[in-house]
């Protein structure tokens, strides 16, 4: 039996001469391996005019290379018993294959091949552009709250690239050119801008040899530009209304909070947990259980998913039928004020810490998520080892810390609120098309 | 740990009929505990759809010793997650926590299972929460499309409604309903406890025996389930929602039962046709070649009855007709032209190779083991699975495709801006047009011969602006 305190992820870090970073961690308990390639480029590395290119480019990586036809990459991995996918966030673009242990070389070879020999054609771009526009309609335009959340970030940030959505604005998706893609590829997809993770049932020496064999000859590129924009402290609340056809009223709010390297994220996560995690949390008991809100949540992604640069801690609520959104919003701010006043128990603090610690252990059940933890910390903070400091980070949080971060970050001046106002289909037509 | 051998899954039956199963897992200090009751939403009484699921939640909302808040607090102060719900054919009460808390977790679950009090105020609140959630869910066209295709396909069976019920059925529930469902359907002989984790099975067994060994309840006998009737001819239902910029499209028929010997070949067939992501014909044609959609898939749900076998996709409104046309063409090609040897080999290699990926975590293992237990399939399914996949033949797949993919016999549901595609749709068959705001007033689908009436229609219609009348 191992105890929670003994849990550690001991990645080994190596680096090829061209700058490619490699994290390896053997685990022979199950005959599978996860191969992950994380690029340190996401929507924070875009600029107006090319928003959405990181994600569109992620799609292009499946559209063929010198060796492979469109979508053949996926077909081959699956035909070898693997599963695969990719995802783009504000900070990174990640490709992964989870495979039977004896297929590791296939993943290494194919990932290196498409990195080197991607076939970018106008025809592929045009097809994939439409696929992504369909994805945007699915995830954002026709989803109940997608456009509200876009508006929240667009208003809360006026300097930093977190102001635009990862999927991009539709007008940029329509105009992106092949040259934009080539430029993005050259800058972002260099070995010195990537971290490779191998985790599972494999031998480190063999994996390192294979990675050297397939990636070693790639040339490094000039480092990607730093993101210069820094959001200035918000000086006063920002508010807006979004009208759409909807059954219920809702609001989405955001408070500027520090990035992943800042230890302030631990008390912020504990605070979020106390407020809204689980059926014994304050928001659940006060708003959801009693039927005032369909949902009332504080949204904080625990590391390694917490954003790299200062981002938003989101608070949102969907009002139950007949409940006025303004009143619900006020009650939610009152509930947060109680924390600022220190009106909460040590037992709630202990429960939140235990909950966060247990969640961390639960997250280690699959090698895939263990790999992500190392890889994303390395990308976002330059140090995979921070993953082993998480349990201590939670453990150290005191009641005063929680009270202090509530006062410091969850203030009215630091707040942006977007309210959903339901309208009829007729009024919706008058307001013009959504995209 | 892999491959899982039947002998690794410990199983005993107590004198009251309760089954205890255990699987040791020592990688992390975790315990995953499931109580499965082999009766689910198919036992919802007519007009009270969603009762099984509500009953399951009521177990977590107060016992003789603890009120709902205390139950939540005692679970969550251990850092555990827990849930209670009903699906098709079974209801589940489960918890995931640290293995050092195994006894406390099972004590709480046992208390919920044996001593629920079904307090009236909790029942009212839960009813209201569920109704509000369903009202909110009505903004999601994909959910409406999913619900409608199942409703039309399984009409005449108790599987035609969403497991979570409808707004009107939830409004119909009375205080005594969950308790009578509980008394009728929760009994030790139909209950299985499965514990997977950093545990010792002897201790698990003794502990569970102490908690649940004295439980006595007979439970009512189950009525036999009717057999659904496969659609003959095409039936097209359009739900008009002019504010959508993208159409939700479903085309469906029926698949097979879980115990069918052709279950594994059916999975392989579905993978090649539409279940295999970029390896599937649907995705290859409709997304990769045409760029019509971000996603298209086919899936089937096999339970005690032959459940839905459905193609699901969405596309910007202007492509609606082209997408349906491609799908019908692909069905025809697949059924008439058969599959290639290479497609079969690749599909088989996928299922063989990815099998360990599906049995990595305690939750994944629990799902597989409980499914076998529920449908009375021997556990050596797990050790023989890869061989069974290897044995699937081209002929089996082609036979299945011919029997199950009929472009002429389909229910088609489209939710979207009707004026942009209604007329051309009529070329494929008779179209029923329904306004989105009136989805509730959809008359129940006509009754196929020899089956009883389906459960009532959808949900009540809120007025514009979302205020419930």
Whether residue B322 has pLDDT greater than 80 = yes
Residue with tokens 């499931």: B34
Q: pLDDT tens across B68-126, in order? A: 999 999 999 999 999 999 999 999 999 999 999 999 999 999 999 999 999 999 999 99
Selecting from B1, B81, B464 the residue whose C-beta is nearest the C-beta of A424 gives B464
Residue B50: pLDDT band by 50, 70, 90 thresholds? Answer: very high
Cα angle vertex B13, ends B8, B17, to 5°?
A: 150
**Domain termination residue (choose one: A183, A215, A247):** A215
Collect all residues of chain A within an 8 Å Cβ-Cβ radius of residue B315.
134
Residue B219: pLDDT band by 50, 70, 90 thresholds? Answer: confident
Residue B17 three-state SS: coil
Collect all residues of chain A within an 8 Å Cβ-Cβ radius of residue B467.
321-322
pLDDT score at A276: 98
Q: B240-267 b/e with 16+ CB inside 10 Å = b?
A: bbbbbbbbbbbbbbbbbbbeeebbbbbb
Closest to A375 measured CA to CA, from A300, A304, A301, A309: A304
Q: A123-146 b/e with 16+ CB inside 10 Å = b?
A: ebbebbbbbbbbbbbbebbbbbbb
CB atoms within 10 A of CB B74: 17
* B81 → chain A, closest CA residue: A278
Q: Among residues 334-393 of chain B, which lie with CB inside 8 Å of chain A?
A: 345-347, 349-357, 360-363
Report percent pLDDT > 90 for chain B: 87
Mean pLDDT of A277-281: 97
* Token duo for residue B370: 């409980």
Report yes or no: B80 at the A interface, CB cutoff 8 Å: yes
Report percent pLDDT > 70 for chain A: 100
Collect all residues of chain A within an 8 Å Cβ-Cβ radius of residue B104.
none
Residue with tokens 């929760």: B186
Report yes or no: B463 at the A interface, CB cutoff 8 Å: no
The conformation of residue B436, written as its DSSP 8-state character, comes to: G
Mean pLDDT of B359-376: 97
* Token duo for residue A272: 């979020």
Residue B428: pLDDT band by 50, 70, 90 thresholds? Answer: very high
Mean pLDDT of B324-345: 97
- The DSSP-derived string for B218-281 is --PPPPPPPPP----SEEEEEEE-TT-SEEEEEEEEE---TT-TTHHHHHHHHIIIIISGGGSH
Residue B464: pLDDT band by 50, 70, 90 thresholds? Answer: very low
Q: pLDDT tens across A304-325, in order? A: 999 999 999 999 999 999 999 9
pLDDT score at A176: 97
The conformation of residue A118, written as its DSSP 8-state character, comes to: B
Q: What is the CATH number of the domain that holds A180?
A: 3.30.830.10
Q: Are residues A251 and A205 in the same domain?
A: no
Collect all residues of chain B within an 8 Å Cβ-Cβ radius of residue A30.
1-2, 356, 360
Whether residue B458 has pLDDT greater than 70 = no
CB contact under 8 A, B462 and A31: no
* B275 → chain A, closest CA residue: A78
Collect all residues of chain B within an 8 Å Cβ-Cβ radius of residue A428.
243
The pTM for the full model equals: 0.93
Q: Among residues 150-179 of chain B, which lie with CB inside 8 Å of chain A?
A: none
**Out of B89-93, B233-237, B453-457, which region has the weakest mean confidence (pLDDT)?**
B453-457
Q: Are residues A272 and A317 in the same domain?
A: yes
Selecting from B29, B294, B363 the residue whose C-beta is nearest the C-beta of A131 gives B294
Collect all residues of chain B within an 8 Å Cβ-Cβ radius of residue A289.
68, 125, 129
Selecting from B68, B128, B243 the residue whose C-beta is nearest the C-beta of A425 gives B243
pLDDT score at A315: 98
For chain B, residues classed under CATH 3.30.830.10 are 6-212, 234-441
Superfamily classification of domain B234-441: Metalloenzyme, LuxS/M16 peptidase-like (3.30.830.10)
Whether residue B27 has pLDDT greater than 50 = yes
Q: Are residues A178 and A242 in the same domain?
A: no
Collect all residues of chain B within an 8 Å Cβ-Cβ radius of residue A143.
140
- Torsion over CA: B371, B375, B380, B384 (sign): negative
Q: Are residues A161 and A283 in the same domain?
A: no
Q: What are phi and psi of B37, to 5 degrees?
A: -110, 125
CB contact under 8 A, B466 and A100: no
Q: How far apart are CA B413 and CA B327, in angstroms?
A: 13
**For A288-366, where are the alpha helices, taking DSSP H only?**
325-340, 346-363
Element (H, E) at B374: helix B362-374
Q: Are residues A272 and A390 in the same domain?
A: yes
Q: Are residues A426 and A329 in the same domain?
A: yes
CB contact under 8 A, B466 and A31: no
Q: pLDDT tens across A6-49, in order? A: 899 999 999 999 999 999 999 999 999 999 999 999 999 999 99
CB contact under 8 A, B294 and A144: no
Collect all residues of chain A within an 8 Å Cβ-Cβ radius of residue B99.
1
Q: Are residues A265 and A188 in the same domain?
A: no
Closest to B160 measured CA to CA, from B239, B44, B259: B44
Q: Are residues A279 and A380 in the same domain?
A: yes
Complex ipTM: 0.94
CB contact under 8 A, B78 and A354: yes
Selecting from A81, A135, A246 the residue whose C-beta is nearest the C-beta of B353 gives A81
Mean pLDDT of A196-217: 98
Mean pLDDT of A57-77: 95
Collect all residues of chain A within an 8 Å Cβ-Cβ radius of residue B80.
358
Chain B: closest CA distance from residue A223 (Å): 33
* A291 → chain B, closest CA residue: B129
Q: pLDDT tens across A391-404, in order? A: 999 999 999 999 99
**Domain termination residue (choose one: A215, A246, A268):** A215
Q: What are phi and psi of A68, to 5 degrees?
A: -120, 145
Q: How far apart are CA B465 and CA B406, in angstroms?
A: 42
In-domain check, residue A1:
no
Selecting from A32, A138, A288 the residue whose C-beta is nearest the C-beta of B357 gives A32
Structural domain boundaries, residue A333: 238-430
* B417 → chain A, closest CA residue: A425
- Are B212 and B114 a contacting pair, CB within 8 Å? yes
Collect all residues of chain A within an 8 Å Cβ-Cβ radius of residue B23.
none
Q: A249-277 b/e with 16+ CB inside 10 Å = b?
A: bbbbbbbbbbbbbeebbbbbbbbbbbbbb
Residue B462: pLDDT band by 50, 70, 90 thresholds? Answer: very low
Closest to A16 measured CA to CA, from A226, A196, A224: A196
Mean pLDDT of A223-245: 94
CB contact under 8 A, A144 and B136: yes
Q: Are residues A350 and A280 in the same domain?
A: yes
CB contact under 8 A, B72 and A279: yes
Residue B313 three-state SS: strand
CB contact under 8 A, A321 and B362: no
In-domain check, residue A361:
yes
Selecting from A79, A358, A425 the residue whose C-beta is nearest the C-beta of B346 gives A79
Q: Are residues A245 and A108 in the same domain?
A: no
Q: Are residues A333 and A419 in the same domain?
A: yes
Selecting from A83, A142, A321 the residue whose C-beta is nearest the C-beta of B354 gives A83
Collect all residues of chain A within an 8 Å Cβ-Cβ radius of residue B68.
279, 289
CB contact under 8 A, A279 and B76: yes
Q: Are residues A17 and A68 in the same domain?
A: yes
B6-212: CATH class: alpha beta
Selecting from A29, A78, A362 the residue whose C-beta is nearest the C-beta of B277 gives A78
Residue B466: pLDDT band by 50, 70, 90 thresholds? Answer: very low
Selecting from A83, A347, A351 the residue whose C-beta is nearest the C-beta of B357 gives A83
Q: How many domains does chain A have?
A: 2
Collect all residues of chain A within an 8 Å Cβ-Cβ radius of residue B133.
294
Q: Among residues 269-308 of chain B, which lie with CB inside 8 Å of chain A?
A: 276-279, 283-284, 287-295
Whether residue B463 has pLDDT greater than 70 = no
């Amino acid at each position: 039996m191992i105890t929670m305190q003994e849990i550690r992820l001991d990645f080994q870090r190596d680096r090829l001469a061209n700058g490619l970073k490699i994290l390896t961690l053997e685990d022979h308990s199950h005959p599978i391996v996860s191969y992950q390639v994380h690029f340190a480029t996401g929507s924070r590395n875009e600029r107006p005019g090319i928003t959405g290119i990181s994600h569109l480019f992620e799609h292009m990586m499946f559209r063929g290379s010198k060796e492979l036809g469109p979508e053949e990459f996926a077909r081959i991995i699956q035909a070898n018993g693997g599963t695969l996918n990719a995802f783009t966030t504000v900070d990174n673009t990640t490709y992964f294959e989870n495979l039977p242990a004896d297929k590791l070389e296939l993943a290494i070879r194919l990932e290196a091949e498409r990195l080197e020999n991607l076939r970018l054609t106008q025809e592929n771009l045009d097809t994939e552009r439409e696929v992504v526009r369909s994805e945007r309609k699915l995830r954002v335009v026709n989803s109940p709250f997608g456009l509200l959340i876009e508006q929240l970030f667009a208003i809360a940030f006026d300097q930093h690239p977190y102001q635009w959505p990862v999927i991009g604005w539709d007008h940029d998706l329509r105009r992106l050119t092949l040259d934009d893609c080539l430029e993005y590829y050259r800058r972002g997809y260099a070995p010195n801008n990537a971290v490779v993770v191998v985790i599972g049932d494999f031998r480190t020496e063999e994996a390192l040899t294979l990675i050297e064999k397939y990636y070693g000859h790639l040339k490094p590129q000039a480092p990607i530009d730093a993101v210069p924009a820094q959001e200035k402290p918000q000086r006063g609340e920002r508010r807006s209304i979004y009208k759409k056809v909807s059954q219920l009223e809702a609001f989405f709010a955001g408070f500027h909070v520090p990035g992943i390297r800042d230890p302030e994220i631990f008390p912020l996560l504990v605070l979020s947990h106390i407020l809204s995690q689980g059926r014994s949390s304050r928001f659940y008991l006060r708003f959801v259980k009693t039927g005032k809100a369909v949902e009332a949540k504080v949204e904080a992604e625990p590391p390694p998913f917490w954003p790299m640069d200062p981002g938003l801690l989101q608070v949102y609520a969907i009002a139950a039928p007949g409940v006025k959104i303004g009143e619900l919003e006020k009650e939610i701010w009152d509930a947060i004020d109680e924390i600022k006043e220190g009106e909460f128990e040590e037992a709630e603090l202990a429960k939140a810490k235990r909950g966060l610690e247990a969640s961390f252990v639960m997250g280690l059940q699959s090698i895939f998520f263990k790999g992500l933890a190392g890889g994303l910390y390395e990308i976002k903070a330059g140090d995979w080892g921070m993953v082993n400091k998480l349990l201590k980070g939670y453990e150290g949080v005191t009641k005063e810390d929680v009270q202090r971060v509530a006062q410091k970050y969850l203030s009215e001046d630091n707040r942006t609120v977007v309210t959903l106002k339901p309208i009829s289909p007729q009024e919706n037509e008058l307001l013009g098309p959504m995209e | 740990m892999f491959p899982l051998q039947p002998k690794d899954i410990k199983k005993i039956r107590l004198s009251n009929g309760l089954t205890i199963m255990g699987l040791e897992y020592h990688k992390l200090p975790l315990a995953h505990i499931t109580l499965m009751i082999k009766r689910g939403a198919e036992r919802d009484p007519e007009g009270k759809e969603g009762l099984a699921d509500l009953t399951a939640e009521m177990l977590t909302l107060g016992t003789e010793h603890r009120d709902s808040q205390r139950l939540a607090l005692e679970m969550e102060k251990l850092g555990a997650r827990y849930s209670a719900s009903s699906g098709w054919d079974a209801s589940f009460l489960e918890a995931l926590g640290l293995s050092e808390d195994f006894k406390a977790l099972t004590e709480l679950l046992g208390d919920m299972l044996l001593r629920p009090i079904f307090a009236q105020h909790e029942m009212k609140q839960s009813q209201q929460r569920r109704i509000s959630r369903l009202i909110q869910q009505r903004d999601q066209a994909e959910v409406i499309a999913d619900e409608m295709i199942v409703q039309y396909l399984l009409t005449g069976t108790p599987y035609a409604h969403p497991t979570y019920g409808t707004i009107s059925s939830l409004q119909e529930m009375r205080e005594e309903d969950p308790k009578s469902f509980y008394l009728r359907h929760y009994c030790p002989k139909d209950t299985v406890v499965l514990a997977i984790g950093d545990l010792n099975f002897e201790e698990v067994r003794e502990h569970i025996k102490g908690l649940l060994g004295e439980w006595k309840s007979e439970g009512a006998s189950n009525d036999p389930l009717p057999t659904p009737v496969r659609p003959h001819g095409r039936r097209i239902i359009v739900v008009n929602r002019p504010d959508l910029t993208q159409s939700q499209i479903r085309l469906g028929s029926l698949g097979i039962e879980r115990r069918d010997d052709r279950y594994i070949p059916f999975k392989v067939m579905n993978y090649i046709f539409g279940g295999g992501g970029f390896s599937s014909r649907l995705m290859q044609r409709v997304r990769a070649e045409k760029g019509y959609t971000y996603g298209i898939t086919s899936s089937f749900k096999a339970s005690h009855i032959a459940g839905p076998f459905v193609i699901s996709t969405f596309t910007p409104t202007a492509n609606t007709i082209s997408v349906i046309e491609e799908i019908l063409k692909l069905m025809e090609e697949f059924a008439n032209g058969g599959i290639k040897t290479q497609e079969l080999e690749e599909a088989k290699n996928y299922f063989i190779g990815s099998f360990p990926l599906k049995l990595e975590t305690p939750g994944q293992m629990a799902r597989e083991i409980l499914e076998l237990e529920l449908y009375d399939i021997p556990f050596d399914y797990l050790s023989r699975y890869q061989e069974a996949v290897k044995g699937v033949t081209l002929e089996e797949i082609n036979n299945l495709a011919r029997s199950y993919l009929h472009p002429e016999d389909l229910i088609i549901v489209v939710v979207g801006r009707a004026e942009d595609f209604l007329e051309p749709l009529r070329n494929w068959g008779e179209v029923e047009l329904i306004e989105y705001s009136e989805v509730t007033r959809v008359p129940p689908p006509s009754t196929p011969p020899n089956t009883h009436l389906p459960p009532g229609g959808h949900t009540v219609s809120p007025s514009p602006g979302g205020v419930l009348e």
